[in-house]
Each structure stands twice: as structure tokens, then as C-alpha cells.
Homo-oligomer: A and B are copies of this chain.
Amino acid sequence: MKNPPKRPNPIADDGDEFRFCSTCAFSAACLESGYGKPELRELHVLVEHIGPFKEGEHIFREGDEFNAIAAVRGGTVKTYVNDAEGREQVQGFFLPGEVIGLSAISQGRYPCNAVALDTVILCNFSFPTIAALAARLPGLQAQLFRLLSQDIGKAALLAGNYSADERMAAFLISLSRRYAARGFSPTRFQLTMTRTDIANYLRLAAESVSRVFRRFQDDKLIRVDRRDIELLDVKRLEVLARSVLRE
């Protein structure tokens, strides 16, 4: 399982054979910390590219044993739980460069399900190994603490009692910025999730999502055609999203 798996779908592969993962947060952390070759090599051995996962394929399920954190290298991952009535509660969408599975550390088991929304490739980091390594590399330990701490505040979009318009605007602005951070267009991208997924994430009915999209389009805020979306007036969307995103 440690032998480097073939990469059948070289998403975002920059051609540099020796950079083990251009999109991974840990890679970035170590490079920033100015570690030399030996440390990078140590980090390298615990990295495992896995996938591709096909659309609808599960990456892990609630209750699965946790032993590795994963960074999304390509594609989109949705995490969710099913509530007492069996209804799906979407917890988050993870784009390339983002890390999933951190909430599993405390229990040693995943508290949620993760499923691929399109073709997904991951970088897996053995958690015991990275934790041991972190004891020797202060920069890595700090980065881990930072990653964990970041996620604590992430639920803001879901937490407040905001209007459907505010939620949707915040959702779109968030996607826009996250795509922009990875070098994609901030104003035009594909929604890799269904309307129902968006609704379950924003705690709205699917019908409401549909209606808000229509209203936004009528107001010339966006242009939507199925999964293709273009943000026409980012300024006004940001104003709408302001109270959610706290700026």
C-alpha cells in the first residue's frame, strides 16, 4: 500500500516529478518552513496519492476508523451526516487544496461521511506518522495546530440565522474566493453539487435554492445555466454576504 500508485488522471500536475503534491497544505507548510531535502523526504514517505474516486463513490463513512488526514488534490468532496429522521445534513464541500477528516482525530473514527462529487484525487497523510514527525519539526506542528484551529470557526455560514439570500450570497462568494485562491476564475465556475446538496448545506429547501437562484438572476447578480454559474455583480453579492462572512 505504500508503493506510489499510478496517477491515471493528472489533475493540476505541474510536470515537476519531484514535487510530491503541489496542492497539499502540508507540502506548502514544509516548503515555507525552509526545511531542506532530508525533512521533505521524510514527509514524502508518508504521503500517498489515492484515487481517483468516481462520482458518488465514498471516501470514508461515518464510524470508519481514522488513521490518515487527506488533502483534496483534484475534484470536490462533500461531507455529510444523516440526522435522526434520515435526512442528509451536508457539513461542507472541499475543493482542491483543502483538508478533510480533521474532526475525526478526537474520536479516532470519522464522525461523518465523505463522498466524491466528481472525479476526486487525494493526498493521504498517515496521522500517527505525521504526528510523530511534528514532534521534531516545530513548523509542522504549528501548521497542524493552525489547520485544526481554522476549522473550528468554519461553521459560521451555518451557525447564524440568516436569510436565504444572505446564505446563498455567502456560499457563492466563499466558492468564488476559494477558487480564486487556487488560480481558477473567481467569477465563473461549475457548481459540482446538486441543488439539493446546496439546499442541505445551506439548511434550506431545494425549492428555496431554486427560487433564490431565479431571483438573483432576475436581479442581474448572477447568471446560472444548470451547473454553470457566473457571478455578474460580486460587489453586491459581497454586500449581501457581509453579515454572514463577518467583514
Contacts and interface: CB of A to CB of B under 8 A. Distances in A.
A131 interface: yes
6 closest A-B pairs by CB: A105-B149, A155-B155, A148-B148, A106-B149, A161-B203, A84-B243
A83 B243 contact: yes
A134 interface: yes
A149 B83 contact: no
Interface in A146-167: 146-155, 158-161
Interface string A113-153: 00000000000000000011011101001101111111111
Given A85-B243, A131-B145, 17 more contacts: A81-B246, A83-B160, A83-B246, A91-B159, A104-B149, A105-B149, A106-B145, A131-B138, A131-B141, A131-B142, A132-B138, A135-B138, A148-B152, A158-B158, A160-B203, A161-B203, A161-B204
A217 interface: no
A111 interface: yes
Interface in A81-110: 81, 83-85, 89, 91, 102-106
Contact of A106 (B134, B135, B150): B150
B84 A152 contact: no
Nearest to A89: B160
A161 B142 CA distance: 35
A182 interface: no
A242 interface: yes
A26 to B, nearest CB: 15
Given A131-B141, A203-B159, A149 B149 contact: no
B203 A153 contact: no
A97 to B, nearest CB: 16
A247 interface: yes
7 contacts: A103-B152, A104-B149, A105-B149, A106-B147, A148-B148, A148-B152, A155-B155
Contacts of A243: 83-85
B83 A146 contact: no
B149 A102 contact: yes
A103 B135 contact: no
A138 B85 CA distance: 40
Nearest to A137: B135
